[in-house]
Amino acid sequence: MTTTPSTSAAPPHAPARRLVIVGGVAGGMSAAARARRLDEDARIVVLEQSPYVSFANCGLPYHLSGEIAERSDLLLHTAESLRAALDLDVRTGHRVTAVDTAARTVTVATADGTYDEEYDALLLAPGAVAVRPPITGLDHPAVHALRTVPDVDALRGRVDTVLAAASASGRVARAVVVGAGFIGLEAVEALVARGLEVELVELADHVLPPLDAELAPLLAQELRAHGVGLHLGTSVTAVTDGAPEGTVTVTLSDARTLPADLVVVNVGVRPASDLARDAGLELSPRGAIRVDDDHRTSDPHVWAVGDAIEVRHAVTGDAGPVPLAGPANRQGRRAADSMLGHRTTPQAPVQGTAIVRVFGLTAAVTGASQAVLTRAGIEHEVVHVHPKHHAGYFPGAESVHLVASFAPDGRLLGAQGVGRDGVDKRIDVLATALRAGMTADDLAELELAYAPPYGSAKDPVNMLGFVAQNALDGTMPQWQAADLDEVLATSLVLDVRSAAERAVAHLPASLHVPHTELRTRLDEVRDAAAGRPVSVHCASGVRSYLATRILRGAGIDARNLSGGWLTLEALRPDVAA
Amino acid sequence: MTTTPSTSAAPPHAPARRLVIVGGVAGGMSAAARARRLDEDARIVVLEQSPYVSFANCGLPYHLSGEIAERSDLLLHTAESLRAALDLDVRTGHRVTAVDTAARTVTVATADGTYDEEYDALLLAPGAVAVRPPITGLDHPAVHALRTVPDVDALRGRVDTVLAAASASGRVARAVVVGAGFIGLEAVEALVARGLEVELVELADHVLPPLDAELAPLLAQELRAHGVGLHLGTSVTAVTDGAPEGTVTVTLSDARTLPADLVVVNVGVRPASDLARDAGLELSPRGAIRVDDDHRTSDPHVWAVGDAIEVRHAVTGDAGPVPLAGPANRQGRRAADSMLGHRTTPQAPVQGTAIVRVFGLTAAVTGASQAVLTRAGIEHEVVHVHPKHHAGYFPGAESVHLVASFAPDGRLLGAQGVGRDGVDKRIDVLATALRAGMTADDLAELELAYAPPYGSAKDPVNMLGFVAQNALDGTMPQWQAADLDEVLATSLVLDVRSAAERAVAHLPASLHVPHTELRTRLDEVRDAAAGRPVSVHCASGVRSYLATRILRGAGIDARNLSGGWLTLEALRPDVAA
């Protein structure tokens, strides 16, 4: 047996002694803290270009609104507190300008000049940079972002100023928010809370583009109820000086113009991977840093985590960046384990679980949306339910609007929800079920906590399972609101709601037979169908399920509208008369 | 190939045509509804001995309190509504007195006499009967139960009467509740809401016996804060006439007496399996009806579901009855599938997931408690965490007190939680994870929905996973509050909290070194330890984890108190000075 002489650097799998971490928020700081807990003797240097480390970036919109009143509440740690608790060497205002992977050094630029820092293990946690949309006048001082503490400081200052100016001149202050994603919606909510009139501009055809099209109208309705103007399928082309002085005019792609006192732009981010690229590390075609299961890059002494890296999607298997705080934090912890030779666990693929509060509503998603599944060519059955978030007979029951997609073998592929209460719980349960590879049968059998203030004996998640079982095993074939035009052309639509419900709105071409009368009026349905299939609907899909079974029991080819009128009306407001 | 002549009854696996269901609540009614949806032509008879079917039994305490104001809200369906919607033949006031499995008939007693009803498939959903504790005077008219609609009617009537009487004589009305289980606690809350002074008597040494001993004190504190008197480790021996007339005197096993205007007794239930036993069906030694995975009893034409049957526990594998509404409802649906030859899914073992609201607190459990694991001889590591239910920097963050047990290989065995908000969500996620066989590593990697109003980038469930990983892989050996006496005798206890925290309460025998000073005061700790292990604690277990790592990094045998002072103080209020 021969041995090679040891070098000054430890081999990749032995504990490293000099750790340098680029980026002091979320993933970077999680890694630094974990590294210290694993190795009391390591030298751990955190280099952060901004003045702040470990700040609550997800809290920024709530400081804008004033809901988080104290700015200091956003600053979870300081260099001093991190030195005291964790013996970390945290250097803010330190920007890393280059990585020399051969020499294992980084070049650091500070206000006082540049210097080189040596490392045995380097972690890149640089995050993301905002995408700059092609808007003329994007650098106008009225245009703001909402990604950092200085951003929110500037935006709060602007809000104060324009509120004062508007108040002095007896008019309302106006904001235009560009981009109706998660942060955009939080910005809208915050600006409305501050008393501004807000117009929201979104390029996609519905708000919160990751949401399925039939759920988004619930959010749009909530936004409009709070006075927010929506401009969907629209982009901003220019921001120019307006009148009175200090205001701007926002020009939209549909040629309309909106007067505004300030503009908030949030149209997405891209990986901040310039440093990694210049260092010769492997990037994905979309510019994300490629890492292995232990978050190691193509260089064995360099790791990377967070918004800058490429991850695998749990459902589609596609690789790409997923800029979310939760995964970034856990990646940091795992990367530290790897850097220090601790036991590592496999990196779970990312599901994209996310949630947003929009005034009184919550919208949340996990796994693949219908659009993503369709784009990926993954066959799926979609089910919609609208149960109450706790026992219907208990005061305060609110509808939870849930959509879930299942593979033909029953495996859960994605789920989304919107509602006033209980949505976060159901999405977290479904996110856990999805991670576990659960099927419709499994959801039907989940044993969740039931007492009237909390849920139902058959929880909304169980209901999703029941409905999916019935849809997948042929007990209850479905039709989808998205296919309405084809359904109207090729089948008889049967409305089994009550006369009172039908009077509010209905499809003119449909036959009306309340579900309790169906057993005695089967001939009427058979005659009207004239050999065509019968496409049943009620309000939510429950009574029409019974009707579908009655019809099928009588030998009639019937199918049930998934989600009922509630879903149809949201997706196709044009057809109800 | 030979064929046998067909008989009037269908073979077991073919659709049955005459279904008789004994019991019209929860499991029985779920089965009836599912059966109709599967078979439009079957004759479905539901025989219910009480005047009500499909009532909200879990809602009864909330009608007692008045939170569910309308009695009619408890009655989800009537015989008439079930006939109209589902063509069910529902017969209330019909008690089945005998089953003749050979003739396939049941004998039914009504106000008008008895008759026989034939069946092809029989479902027994008789529920449970209340255990009658050995109390002298249990039949006193002041003694009430809370399991049925007539029970709540009677109890509401009694409450109205005693409130009026007490008010007229210028005194408060008093109630004694016997049994601090789920329904007992709900009864306490309801009676306090009505303005009664309540004393709660429980034979076990803590309230809510399924809860781990270190969580129960949180409920006890909440009960006392609402004026409830607790008598733990105590039973009631007698209820006798009291003074003034109409009141009673409740005598306890500790010889104390309590004056009361009414007594509510809820000390558990046993399977209502007399009918099944008399019919010769196989019962468990504890009297539960034995069924197979499809809920079929020892007779091929008889199925059974709900509180009366024996189920397998998901963690211990033990068999026994588990009287919970959720499983009963799902069992009913599955039994109908089997009775009608529909595709059936395997019966999932029961986890015992349950939840209760106690004034401002929620307590919830899933899987095996520590006591159950210990009794079953199942090796387990227990971890305690006290994180906030959503981002700590967001207003309104409440502590979630979570306990979870893990097998040596990391598999989740059970979890419990108590707190003011967010407990139901975490227990549902943990119930889903437990069903999926997830490990500490899996919990650490769960991707749950995070935005400041809903959770944290590292959710409390992730935290449980992190802590369990550290405890199980030796990164952070633990000590448990339950072992305090042994720990005090054999190790140095090191308190790493701040001086201000220590001033409130501490273990007199402990050494105090704030965690931020530990690195410079290691010699002091080493001297005081004098070769003994060091048992570290802080308030919640986070800073003491850092301290444990610092000590171990310095070669000192250190271990961390699981759950910190919060857990210790709850379990051992006697030791804090």
- CA-CA-CA-CA dihedral for A528, A529, A531, A532, to nearest 10: 150
Q: How far is A243 from chain B (nearest CA, A)?
A: 37
Residues of chain B with confidence (pLDDT) below 50: 1-13
Average pLDDT over residues A92-108: 98
Same domain, B313 and B368: no
The distance between the two most distant Cα atoms of chain A, rounded to a whole number of Å, is 91
Report angle CA B473, B477, B483 to the nearest 5 degrees. 135
What is the SS3 string spanning A410-454? CEEEEEEEEECCCHHHHHHHHHHHHHCCCEHHHHHHCCCCCCCCC
The pLDDT of residue A555 is 95
pLDDT (0 to 100) of residue A11: 42
**Tokens standing for B429?**
């996620």
Rg of chain A in Å (alpha carbons): 27
Pairing of strands B121-124, B302-304: parallel
Residue A355 forms part of a structural domain: no
Asked if residues B88 and B58 have their Cβ atoms less than 8 Å apart, the reply is: no
**Amino acid residing at B111:** A
Percent of chain A with pLDDT over 90: 93
Structural domain includes residue B2: no
pLDDT at A76: 86
A-chain CB neighbours of B515 within 8 Å are 85
Q: Which of A441, A444, A549 is closest, CB to CB, to B37? A: A549
Domain-embedded: residue B4: no
Decide which of A310, A339, A368 is a domain's last residue: A339
Same-domain status, A440 and A513? no
Distance from CA of B102 to the nearest CA of A (A): 31
CA distances from A391 to A411, B127, B190, B305, B324 (A): 27, 21, 18, 22, 15
What are the residues whose beta carbons fall under 8 Å from the beta carbon of B72, sequence distance 6 or more? Answer: none
C-beta of residue A270 within 8 angstroms of C-beta of residue A321: yes
Quickly count: other Cβ atoms within 10 Å of residue A514's Cβ. Answer: 19
Note whether residue B347 is domain-resident.
no
DSSP output for A252-272: ETTS-EEEESEEEE---EEE-
- Check whether A509 has a pLDDT greater than 80: yes
DSSP string of B446-470?
------TTT--SS-HHHHHHHHHHH
d(Cα A69, Cα B375) in Å, to the nearest integer? 50
Query: What pLDDT is stored for residue B11 in this prediction?
Result: 42
Contacts A333 to B, Cβ<8 Å: 444, 466
Of A364, A448, A546, the CB nearest to B431: A448
Residue of A263, A391, A415, A128 whose CA lies nearest to B62? A391
Residues B51 and B87 in one domain: yes
Residues A373 and A464 in one domain: yes
Q: CATH code at A535?
A: 3.40.250.10
DSSP per-residue letters across A49-80: SSS-SSB-GGGHHHHHHTSS--GGGGB---HH
Pairwise CA distance, residues A514 & A539, whole Å: 12
- Say if A170 falls within a structural domain: yes
**Do B188 and B283 belong together in one domain?**
no
**Could you tell me if A393 and A452 are in contact, meaning their C-beta atoms sit under 8 angstroms apart?**
yes
CA distances from B380 to A343, B369, B383 (A): 21, 11, 10
Name which of A67, A327, A353 is nearest B449 (Cβ-Cβ): A353
Considering the domain architecture, whether residues B235 and B274 belong to the same structural domain is answered as no
Q: Two tokens at B2?
A: 């030979």
Whether residue B442 and residue A435 make contact (CB cut-off 8 A), yes or no, is: yes
Sort out which chain A residues have CB atoms less than 8 A from B326's CB and list them: 447-448, 450, 457-459, 462
**What CATH number is attached to the domain comprising B304?**
3.50.50.60
Supply A125's token pair. Answer: 């946690």
Pick A355's closest partner by Cβ from B366, B444, B449. Answer: B449
Give yes or no: residues A123 and A22 share one domain.
yes
Q: Are residues B365 and B456 in the same domain?
A: yes
Q: How far apart are CA A121 and CA A21, in angstroms?
A: 9
Last residue of a domain, one of B414, B445, B472: B472
Condensed to tens digits (0 to 9), the pLDDT of residues A428-482 reads 999 999 999 999 999 999 999 999 999 999 999 999 999 999 999 999 999 999 9
Cβ neighbours of residue B234 closer than 8 Å, sequence gap 6 or more: B201, B202, B203, B252, B253, B254
Instruction: Look up residue B498 and give its two tokens.
Output: 């701040």
A260/A277 same-domain check: no
Tell me which of B246, B267, B288 is where a domain ends.
Answer: B267
Q: Establish if B354 belongs to a structural domain.
A: no
Determine contact, residues A366/A430, Cβ cutoff 8 Å: yes
Q: What is the mean pLDDT of residues A73-102?
A: 95
> b/e per residue, A323-361, with b = 16+ CB within 10 A?
bbbbbbbbbbbbbbbbbbbbebbebbbbbbbbbbbbbeb
pLDDT of residue A9: 39
Nearest Cα of chain B lies from the Cα of A399 at a distance, in angstroms, of 17
> Does A8 fall in a domain?
no
CA of B15 vs chain A CAs: smallest distance (Å): 13
User: Which stretches does DSSP call E strand in B381-526?
Assistant: 381-385, 400-406, 412-419, 478-479, 492-495, 511-512
Task: Look at residues A95, A92, A99 and name the one whose alpha carbon lies nearest to residue A123.
Answer: A99
Asked if residue A563 lies in contact with residue A492, where contact means CB atoms within 8 angstroms, the answer is no
Closest chain B residue to A465 measured between Cα atoms? B330
Domain that holds residue B447: 360-472
A203-226 average pLDDT score? 97
Query: In this model, does residue A175 exceed pLDDT 50?
Result: yes
Q: What is the pLDDT of residue A16?
A: 53
Pick from A354, A357, A432: CB nearest B446:
A432
pLDDT of A320-331, one tens digit each? 999 999 999 999
Question: How many contacts (CB atoms, under 8 Å) link A and B?
Answer: 269
Residue among B260, B286, B258 at smallest CA distance from B272:
B286
For residue B433, list chain A residues with Cβ-Cβ distance below 8 A: 432, 436
A110 and A53 in one domain? Answer: yes
Contacts of B462 in chain A (CB under 8 A): 326, 330
Cβ contact B448–A40 (<8 Å): no
The alpha carbon of residue A567 and the mean position of all alpha carbons in its chain are separated, in whole angstroms, by: 21
Query: A475: which chain B residues are within 8 Å (Cβ-Cβ)?
Result: 37-38, 342
Kindly list the residues from chain A whose CB atom is less than 8 angstroms away from the CB atom of residue B445.
330, 345, 348, 435
Which residue is listed with tokens 């001993």? Answer: B213
The tokens for B343 are 């595709």
- Identify the sign of the CA torsion A73, A75, A80, A84: positive
Minimal Cα–Cα distance from B322 to chain A, Å? Answer: 12
Chain B CA closest to residue A519 = B87
Task: Tell me whether residues A431 and B441 touch, CB distance under 8 A.
Answer: no
Whether omega for the bond prior to residue B244 falls within 30 degrees of 0, making it cis, is: yes
SS3 for B423? Answer: helix
Q: What is the CA radius of gyration of chain B?
A: 27
For chain B, first and last CA: distance in Å? 86
Angle at A323 between CA A437 and CA A149, to 5 degrees: 140
Identify whether the C-beta of residue B367 lies closer than 8 Å to the C-beta of residue B315. yes
Contact B326 A457 (CB under 8 A): yes
Mutation pick from A432, A522, A545, A556 vs chain B, by most beta carbons of B within 10 Å, is: A432
> Does A13 fall in a domain?
no
B260 with B158, same domain: the answer is: yes
State the nearest Cα–Cα gap between B241 and chain A, in angstroms: 35
pLDDT at A347: 79
| Cis ω before B150 (30° cut-off from 0) | no
Q: Do B435 and A446 touch (CB under 8 A)?
A: yes
- Indicate the number of domains in chain A: 4
Closest to A357 (Cβ–Cβ): which among B327, B329, B453? B453
Q: Looking at the structure, tell me whether residues A248 and A296 fall in a common domain.
A: no
How many Å apart are CA A274 and CA A283, to the nearest integer? 10
